[in-house]
Amino acid sequence: MFNILVVEDDKKLRRLLCTVLTKNGYHAIGAEDGLAALEILDQEYIDLIISDIMMPNMDGYELTKMLWETKHHLPILMVTAKESFDDKERGFLVGTDDYMVKPIDVNEMILRVGALLRRARIANERKLTCGNTILDYDSLTVYQNGQSFILPQKEFYLLFKLISYANKIFTRQQLMDEIWGMDSETDERTVDVHINRLRERFKDSGDFEIVTVRGLGYKAVRCHD
């Protein structure tokens, strides 16, 4: 079970967010401000933070900046009433991973939390082996049969995602949301283009195959499983 820290000075909203997270299978822990959040982080393992910006004692900006300075690189979803571009820019510059403006749709929040956790898992795993193929996340490099080559970023992330969850079917929209971001205006058919490029690159690979599931989406099949 993932542990999610909700940092919000509004007691009712904090309780609501924790309740919604709990109903969706997460273990939610509440904190009233940044200082309280830091105390909890010293005692508990946290997978993701949902944080307000405007709070007493230590606000969301300060909390995020301090976490990055102390190498706590965990996903942070900022939830705030501040909606100007400058406010969002400042949030992303200090290390925020995603941003929602109040009043928020709690169902959308759950989707964003799931996407952030999946992305963090990919980033933390770093390397993936499939038969004679090795994918190195940090360098976007594929090692195969004694050769190595760098893939374009989106192609690499798609391949890494599909092989990480071999035999799991992903819709185009799921892949768009995770690889391109939920706010992307890119047409989901872009996924098809990238999939076709991957198929062409790895058409002679005996380690995996990217399969189209008609009417649903795509999945990777490991040939050695």
Each residue's pLDDT tens digit, 54-112: 899 998 889 998 888 776 778 999 988 877 778 778 877 788 889 998 888 999 999 99
**What pLDDT score does 16 carry?**
95
Contact 149, 141 (CB under 8 A): yes
pLDDT bin (cut points 50, 70, 90) of residue 125 is low
> Which domains are seen in the chain, by residue range?
3-122 (3.40.50.2300), 126-222 (1.10.10.10)
Looking at per-residue pLDDT, the higher value among 128 and 113 belongs to 113
Model pLDDT for residues 180-215, shown as the tens digit of each residue: 876 677 777 899 999 999 999 998 888 999 999 998
The pLDDT assigned to 164 comes to 84
What residues contact 181, with CB distance under 8 A and at least 6 apart?
none
Residue 14: its pLDDT value, please? 95
Inter-residue contact 20 to 106 (CB < 8 Å): yes
Output 193-196 pairs: Cβ under 8 A, ≥24 positions apart: 194/154, 194/155, 194/158, 195/158
